[in-house]
Chain A
Amino acid sequence: MNRKFGKTGKTGKTTELKKLNKAETPEKMRIKTTRRTRKLKVSSGAFIAPSLLGVLLFFILPFIVIIWYSMVDNPISANFVFLDNFKSIVANPAFQRAVRNTFMFSVVSVPLAVVLSLILAIVLESKIPFKSQFRTFFLSPLMVPVASIVLIWQVLFHYNGAVNEILGRFGTDKIDWMKSEYALAVVAILFLWKNLGYNMILFMAALASIPKDILEVATLESATPFQTFFHIKIRYLSSTLLFVTIMSLISSFKIFREVYLLTGDYPTDTVYMLQHFMNNKFRNLDYQTLSAAAILMCLVIIVIIGVLFIVEDRFGKDVEG
């Protein structure tokens, strides 16, 4: 509130007050502001409405439908069974296996994707020759379509593929990689190969945005590179770290595409992922189990992301505005 119209002096009424139009008294001013605010809100709402409608139609409503599907026995008779579908999938051995495999894959490949891409970003940030060529080299897998990548991997890791051919020269027996216990490792390599470049670019951008003066001060204060990295750079990278971790986590779930193309609907138990379970349930018209599995997966991801946000908030609080 403008102090001119607040506490007046001993004279009580000021010249400015006298100059006020009757219509512009504080009460009327408040009304005018409220009316203006309401008008603004209405017009903003009108412009946001199409997007909101889209979000409602394509995200929120389907989610509500999925919740409904997960609580009925089938879409034809629609008898309410509450949590029976959830109980049945939790007890389902295939679901348990899928959760275990997906968890193992994410636990191994996501941290690797973050750490390795950070290391690459740091290396490429330093003064090395052919920096831009290396950058292109690491980014190029992003541009290759998934089907082409799968084709390459099949050529490499097929029972009669190049890797077995090379290993054979060293006297090793052939391994059917995608049907052995090494299948998850092969998929992890594929995942890292595809995603490192993107993460690396994000880290490089984040590294470039760290204030140079702080780093100079640290150097002047005889801080070691180790200390500079962990006490300064990491803190400034915290939001990017969070973002990269979330994106890598999402990408780790999307690895289903590659695994599906490599191994089909029913792979061996070492690479049977959550999305296999859900895709097959969809094919078999078992929408109830599919919906229940999707909701469970959603809840787990919400928890993980929530934890990540809390960690980031605590860790990077002091460097954010």
Chain B
Amino acid sequence: MKKGFRKLFAAGLAALMAVSLAACGGDDREKSGGDKAAAGDSFVYVPEYVSLGDENVRLSRVICSDGMLYYNGYIFDEETYTSRSPIFKYDVAAGNQEEIKVDMEGLEDAYVSQLATDKEGNLYIIWVRSVWDENNPDDWHQDTFLAKYDISGNTVFQQDITQEMNSDDENTYVQNMAVDGEGRVYLVCSRIIRLFDGDGSYRGDVETEDSWINNAVRGRDGKVYIIYYNRNGGNGGYVAAEVDFVGKKLGSTHAMPDNVDSLSEGVEKDFLINDRTRLYEYDLASETWEEVLNWVDCDIMGDYVQLVCPSGDGRLMVVIYDWESNNAELAFLKKTKASDVVQKEELVLGCMYMSQDLRATAVAFNKSNEKYRVTIKEYYDRNSDIDRENALTNMINELTSGKGPDLLALSYDLNVEQLVGKEVLADLNPFLDSSSALSRDSFVESVLKGYTYGDTLVSIPKSFSISAVAGKTSQVGEKMGWSIQDIMDFSAEHPGAELFEYVNQSTMMEVLMTFNQDAFIDWEKGTCNFDCDEFRQMLEFAASFPEEYNWDGERESTPTLLATGKLLLYSDGISQCQDIQVAEAMFNEPVTYIGFPTTDGSVGCVMNCNEGYCIVDKSKKKDGAWEFIEFYLNRDSDMFSWGFPSLKEKLEEKIADACKVEYVTDENGEIVLDEDGNPIISGMGGFGWNDWEYTYHPCTEEEIATLRELINVAMPMPTSNSEVLTIIAEEAEPFYKGQKSLDEVVSTIQSRMSMYVGENS
């Protein structure tokens, strides 16, 4: 009996172990969308589009209530130079739209600032009118009105709330409006909420302890909630809080996901949240949110989504406004089984963070390509517990184990050289050579060179910008490029003047090491010589700078400091052709782009790439991946990208645009002349400080020549040797503070670097 019991007990234990092993590694699907389930029971949201308004109407505000969409537009008449702000109503069920005519008495020249509805379908509008003093154009103010209209457009009340809005200087603009279930109005004004009851009478304010309010919405319970960033206590981060109208205070806070772009009443739970990449459904009671869909998977650009609400027939209605084309449309999303939808071959694109440019490109590619479809796998989710470093590790582990995505988006913290060394990234050269849409000659050479490691071309970024250092030609000479000794001598020749702005000891050392990390290292032999005189001089030079920069609030502006010689060098970021004029304008005399110092005296100019994609070598769909890269590089839209195009043709177009001279003309097309009889060049924009202003001019040939030279020599910042900078920074600190001698510090740096170099050679 005893023996039998023992056997039974042992068998039970073994069974328990086996069961517990089987359960480990279970997939946590709580926060992931239902459409990620195994094939056979996965769902997708398929959009059906309906055009909304016409291209002359720029969609401004849009709200939804009880099967009706209300939105206002902006129409500018180019012939009469007048504008108006009509309000439209769209009946979702009937599929027709009409303009709502409201009584404009007392609201001449006013425009619609905010729209809201109550549960009965009454419309609430904030009208704003700007009023200028005829005698003094700088003196102007805004009149603000709160109006309520019934379903037929008849005015219920119209209140002038200018006095309440101007009761303080900071919270004068209505950025959001909501109406609760009892018809009371809540106006969000920067950091406070102004309360008005059902007849438009002002009832007081609710404050948020100096937090900016992002959104206000009526929940399913009829109460109004605001979203703001809570700086205090355990609930730090974005939170939702009920606004207590009677008590004039905020209720308890509920944690929200980061990056809430817009909020609306929920379908089955309290709210629908759009963060531009995904749509979530949020439950107030449990403070949890569940992904409903990913916008890219629905072929919708999340940034263009103005509103999401239930359409009443089981579908989700999404109002989309494309800023580029000025096109507004409705997308009705129907939840459909994935197996019922036409299947394309999936390309997975891995990224740390899904940028706007990537989303826009993926949506456009998915709509246009018949064979492939891109799915974006974002490794770093700010709403999860995994921090960025661990997310990067996960990505690298997947890549090196052969389970990575088909495409990879470059990220600033991704060690590309390391991945190339491990043969993780495919060489794009064969694809480029055999492409019918692109050719090697069509790209700026330095871009291709900058992203070639050994013989492997890993990526072709679509656009780039440049960082370079400029100084007065009279001081630094005409020749571009200088050595570390040169910059030290230059600084010694100008005692009392700042070399760079906002620089301290450690940042100066970083500047000196920007292009010189490998100067003291022989990777082939596995040796280093940081105990040489040159490195000692660099440390001593860096030590001559302040430990901490003095951020004096009353400091003169940068242009003034440069022009007066109190500041010697300017670190310039150049992302458009006209930026090449900035340094000379600020110095107020000719400049030379001397660059960051290098050990060999060459020009140190950094190339910063906007967005670049690589093909993962293990991918079985390399051809499809290349199709995506081709599509991306050839795409005309640069709505979400900046900088100089990598394609020569587009770069030349930009340069030609920047050099084009356009004059101010009158209504008859005649050139307007100034007092001296000279034509007036059309403004190209500009910028300034408090005491200094600059307006760009069409670029000259000399400026373009300088820009071309900088583009030719620019190189991406090396990422592989960040450990070098880290070791130097750690060991140099006691020397900067005077605690250790130069010899001690150099000896320690040499010892640590020897280990690093020896290990990695």
Q: How far is the CA of A119 from the CA of B18 in the complex (A)?
A: 47
Does A116 count as interface, using CB distance less than 8 angstroms?
A: no
Q: How far is the CB of B390 from chain A (nearest CB, A)?
A: 13
Contacts A75-B402, A269-B751; A94 near B758 (Cβ below 8 A): yes
Q: Can you name the residue of chain A whose Cβ is closest to the Cβ of B397?
A: A285
Is there an interface contact between B617 and A76, defined as CB atoms closer than 8 Å? Answer: yes
B interface residue count range (under 10 / 10 to 19 / 20 to 34 / 35 or more) = 35 or more
Contacts of A276 in B (CB 8 A): 755
Does A140 count as interface, using CB distance less than 8 angstroms?
A: no
Contacts of A6 in B (CB 8 A): none
Q: How far is the CA of A270 from the CA of B750 in the complex (A)?
A: 12
Does B338 count as interface, using CB distance less than 8 angstroms?
A: no
Is there an interface contact between A285 and B751, defined as CB atoms closer than 8 Å? Answer: no
Which of A76, A159, A268 has the most CB atoms of chain B within a 10 A radius of its CB? Answer: A76
By secondary structure, the A interface counts as loop
CB contact between B755 and one of A97, A160, A174, A284 (< 8 Å): that residue: A97
Is there an interface contact between A75 and B401, defined as CB atoms closer than 8 Å? Answer: yes
Contacts of B752 in A (CB 8 A): 266-268
Does A37 count as interface, using CB distance less than 8 angstroms?
A: no
Which segment of B190-198, B416-424, B621-629 sits at the interface? B416-424
Q: How far is the CB of A32 from chain B (nearest CB, A)?
A: 19
- Mark each residue of chain A from 46 to 89: 1 if its CB lies under 8 Å from any CB of chain B, else 0: 11011000000000000000000000001111000000000000
Q: How far is the CB of A99 from chain B (nearest CB, A)?
A: 13
Is there an interface contact between A269 and B754, defined as CB atoms closer than 8 Å? Answer: yes
Contacts of B396 in A (CB 8 A): 285
A interface residue count range (under 10 / 10 to 19 / 20 to 34 / 35 or more) = 20 to 34
Q: How far is the CB of A258 from chain B (nearest CB, A)?
A: 18
Q: How far is the CB of A231 from chain B (nearest CB, A)?
A: 46
Number of residue pairs A-B, CB distance < 8 angstroms: 78
Does B756 count as interface, using CB distance less than 8 angstroms?
A: yes
Is there an interface contact between A277 and B418, defined as CB atoms closer than 8 Å? Answer: no
Is there an interface contact between A74 and B422, defined as CB atoms closer than 8 Å? Answer: yes
CB contact between B418 and one of A92, A280, A285 (< 8 Å): that residue: A285
Q: How far is the CA of A46 from the CA of B17 in the complex (A)?
A: 13
Is there an interface contact between B748 and A93, defined as CB atoms closer than 8 Å? Answer: no
Is there an interface contact between B748 and A179, defined as CB atoms closer than 8 Å? Answer: yes
Contacts of A160 in B (CB 8 A): 739
Q: How far is the CA of A227 from the CA of B751 in the complex (A)?
A: 49
Q: How far is the CA of A252 from the CA of B753 in the complex (A)?
A: 25
Is there an interface contact between A179 and B759, defined as CB atoms closer than 8 Å? Answer: no
Q: How far is the CA of A268 from the CA of B418 in the complex (A)?
A: 24
Does B107 count as interface, using CB distance less than 8 angstroms?
A: no
Q: Can you name the residue of chain B whose Cβ is closest to the Cβ of A264?
A: B730
Does B182 count as interface, using CB distance less than 8 angstroms?
A: no
Contacts A77-B423, A266-B727; A287 near B400 (Cβ below 8 A): yes
Q: How far is the CB of B585 from chain A (nearest CB, A)?
A: 45
Is there an interface contact between A272 and B402, defined as CB atoms closer than 8 Å? Answer: no
- Mark each residue of chain A from 192 to 220: 1 if its CB lies under 8 Å from any CB of chain B, else 0: 00000000000000000000000000000
Contacts A176-B744, A269-B754, A269-B755; A76 near B400 (Cβ below 8 A): yes
Does B14 count as interface, using CB distance less than 8 angstroms?
A: yes
Q: How far is the CA of A270 from the CA of B748 in the complex (A)?
A: 11
CB contact between B424 and one of A43, A49, A76, A176 (< 8 Å): that residue: A76
Q: Can you name the residue of chain B whose Cβ is closest to the Cβ of A160?
A: B739
Contacts of A179 in B (CB 8 A): 748, 751
Is there an interface contact between B400 and A75, defined as CB atoms closer than 8 Å? Answer: yes
- Mark each residue of chain A from 22 to 56: 1 if its CB lies under 8 Å from any CB of chain B, else 0: 00000000000000000000010011011000000
Which of B402, B423, B526, B752 has the most CB atoms of chain A within a 10 A radius of its CB? Answer: B752
Does B618 count as interface, using CB distance less than 8 angstroms?
A: yes
Q: How far is the CB of A273 from chain B (nearest CB, A)?
A: 11
Q: Can you name the residue of chain A whose Cβ is closest to the Cβ of B730?
A: A264
Q: How far is the CB of B263 from chain A (nearest CB, A)?
A: 42
Contacts of A176 in B (CB 8 A): 734, 740, 744, 748
- Mark each residue of chain B from 720 to 761: 1 if its CB lies under 8 Å from any CB of chain A, else 0: 000100010010001000011000100010011111101111
Contacts of B755 in A (CB 8 A): 94, 97, 266-269, 272, 276
Q: How far is the CB of B610 from chain A (nearest CB, A)?
A: 27
Q: How far is the CB of B413 from chain A (nearest CB, A)?
A: 13
Q: How far is the CA of A276 from the CA of B759 in the complex (A)?
A: 10
Is there an interface contact between B751 and A74, defined as CB atoms closer than 8 Å? Answer: no
Contacts of A312 in B (CB 8 A): none
Is there an interface contact between A76 and B618, defined as CB atoms closer than 8 Å? Answer: yes
Q: Can you name the residue of chain B whose Cβ is closest to the Cβ of A49?
A: B14
CB contact between A50 and one of B18, B401, B758 (< 8 Å): that residue: B18
Contacts of A97 in B (CB 8 A): 755, 758
Does B10 count as interface, using CB distance less than 8 angstroms?
A: yes
Contacts of B7 in A (CB 8 A): 43
CB contact between B756 and one of A47, A76, A266 (< 8 Å): that residue: A266
Q: How far is the CA of A269 from the CA of B747 in the complex (A)?
A: 11
Q: How far is the CA of A257 from the CA of B183 in the complex (A)?
A: 64
Contacts of B422 in A (CB 8 A): 74-76, 285
Is there an interface contact between B734 and A159, defined as CB atoms closer than 8 Å? Answer: yes
Q: How far is the CB of B238 from chain A (nearest CB, A)?
A: 33
Contacts of A281 in B (CB 8 A): 759
CB contact between A268 and one of B400, B402, B423, B748 (< 8 Å): that residue: B748
Q: How far is the CA of A179 from the CA of B745 in the complex (A)?
A: 10
Is there an interface contact between A76 and B423, defined as CB atoms closer than 8 Å? Answer: yes
Does A165 count as interface, using CB distance less than 8 angstroms?
A: no
Contacts A77-B423, A268-B748; A159 near B740 (Cβ below 8 A): yes
Q: How far is the CB of B552 from chain A (nearest CB, A)?
A: 30
Contacts A160-B739, A179-B751; A50 near B756 (Cβ below 8 A): no
Contacts of B756 in A (CB 8 A): 266
CB contact between B739 and one of A92, A159, A269, A285 (< 8 Å): that residue: A159
Q: How far is the CA of A50 from the CA of B18 in the complex (A)?
A: 7
Q: How far is the CA of A95 from the CA of B11 in the complex (A)?
A: 49
Q: How far is the CB of A236 from chain B (nearest CB, A)?
A: 36
Q: How far is the CA of A277 from the CA of B760 in the complex (A)?
A: 10
Contacts A76-B400, A284-B418, A285-B418; A47 near B758 (Cβ below 8 A): no
Contacts of A287 in B (CB 8 A): 400
- Mark each residue of chain A from 98 to 140: 1 if its CB lies under 8 Å from any CB of chain B, else 0: 0000000000000000000000000000000000000000000
Q: How far is the CB of A283 from chain B (nearest CB, A)?
A: 9
CB contact between A266 and one of B723, B739, B740, B744 (< 8 Å): that residue: B723
Residues from 227 to 280 in A contacting B, C-beta threshold 8 Å: 264-270, 272, 276-277, 280
CB contact between B759 and one of A74, A268, A280 (< 8 Å): that residue: A280
Q: Can you name the residue of chain A whose Cβ is closest to the Cβ of B419?
A: A285
Contacts of B17 in A (CB 8 A): 50
Q: Can you name the residue of chain A whose Cβ is closest to the Cβ of B16?
A: A50
Q: How far is the CA of A49 from the CA of B723 in the complex (A)?
A: 47
Is there an interface contact between B18 and A285, defined as CB atoms closer than 8 Å? Answer: no
Q: How far is the CB of B517 from chain A (nearest CB, A)?
A: 15
Which of A50, A74, A266, A276 has the most CB atoms of chain B within a 10 A radius of its CB? Answer: A266
Contacts of A47 in B (CB 8 A): 10-11, 14
CB contact between B14 and one of A50, A74, A159, A269 (< 8 Å): that residue: A50
Contacts of B723 in A (CB 8 A): 265-266
Q: How far is the CA of A272 from the CA of B727 in the complex (A)?
A: 15
Residues from 642 to 679 in B contacting A, C-beta threshold 8 Å: none
Q: How far is the CB of A304 from chain B (nearest CB, A)?
A: 25
Contacts of B748 in A (CB 8 A): 176, 179, 268
Contacts of B11 in A (CB 8 A): 47
Is there an interface contact between B18 and A268, defined as CB atoms closer than 8 Å? Answer: no
Contacts of B740 in A (CB 8 A): 159, 176
Q: Please provide the 7 A-B residue pairs with the shortest distance between their CB atoms, ordered closest to farther.
A: A94-B758, A94-B759, A93-B758, A268-B751, A76-B423, A266-B756, A179-B748
Known: A75-B402, A76-B423. 7 other contacts (CB 8 A): A49-B14, A76-B618, A95-B759, A97-B755, A97-B758, A159-B734, A176-B734
List 11 A-B pairs, Cβ < 8 Å: A75-B400, A97-B755, A159-B734, A176-B740, A176-B748, A264-B730, A266-B723, A268-B748, A284-B418, A284-B760, A287-B400
Residues of A whose CB lies within 8 Å of any CB of B are 43, 46-47, 49-50, 74-77, 92-95, 97, 159-160, 174, 176, 179, 264-270, 272, 276-277, 280-281, 284-285, 287
